[in-house]
Amino acid sequence: MKATIHQPDFLPWLGLFNKIARADCWIVLDHVENNPRDAAFWGRRVKIAINAQASWLSITLSKPATPGVIGVPIRDMTVSAADDRAMQKCLRTLQMAYAGTPYFADYFPLAEAYFSDPDLNLMRRNMRFIERVMALLGVRTRILYSSELGIQTKATQLLVDLLKQVGASTYLCGGGAGGYQQDDLFAQAGIALEYNNFTHPVYPQPRTSEFIPGLSILDALFCAGEQSVARWVHDA
């Protein structure tokens, strides 16, 4: 059984959906701690194309309730309750950036559903968006949550233990994982390691002379439509 492990990102890029589709099981890494105020946290930001430039679209998260605490488990992070106007600004930003694209009207409701969601829990909001896109693209990968598996180890050992817990024989990891994980630990545990070296497709983007890769999957859906995106996502 092939499994992949990844955090529940905000409006994720196309490559994540490709990785999920190629696995039998996705373990959502939701119990690890992150700093909700960290501007580099992918649970709260993603890039989109604005005026031919890759630009950040981000949301504000509530700071930890306990003074002095920095890290919060992803499953416990919440969107700032005072950020409603900023949420509407995100929608307007997407609308201004993509209103002229061929499939904007078809998939803008995905963004509307995310930014109007009354649930302040970040993980549930992010996962609802991800699961809607998975259903749209015919991705039927089983989803499990690390918080329900009872593993408390750290770093690469955490990944190995999660994979052993679900009975995975192969770990499908992102192309950039080699820079930080200890690959030998997977071999010692009898788990094959497979890198998902996703080749990004090129498609027309609004007002761009040179293609911008790595944007939210909304960019691909707005510009190319679900038939093309589904083909790219399922491309092995």
Q: Show me where the domains of the chain are located.
A: 2-233
Q: Quote the DSSP letter at residue 178.
A: G
3-class secondary structure, 172? strand
The pLDDT tens digits of the residues spanning 176-221 come to 655 578 889 999 999 999 999 899 999 999 888 899 999 999 999 9
d(CA 42, CA 9): 5
143, with CB counted inside 10 A (0-12, 13-18, 19+), is: middle
pLDDT band at 84 (very low <50, low <70, confident <90, very high): confident
Average pLDDT on 117-145 reads 97
Alpha-carbon distance values, 113 to 10, 188, 203 (Å): 13, 44, 26
Between 177 and 4, the higher pLDDT residue: 4
Cα atoms in the Cβ-side hemisphere of radius 13 Å centred on 75? 9
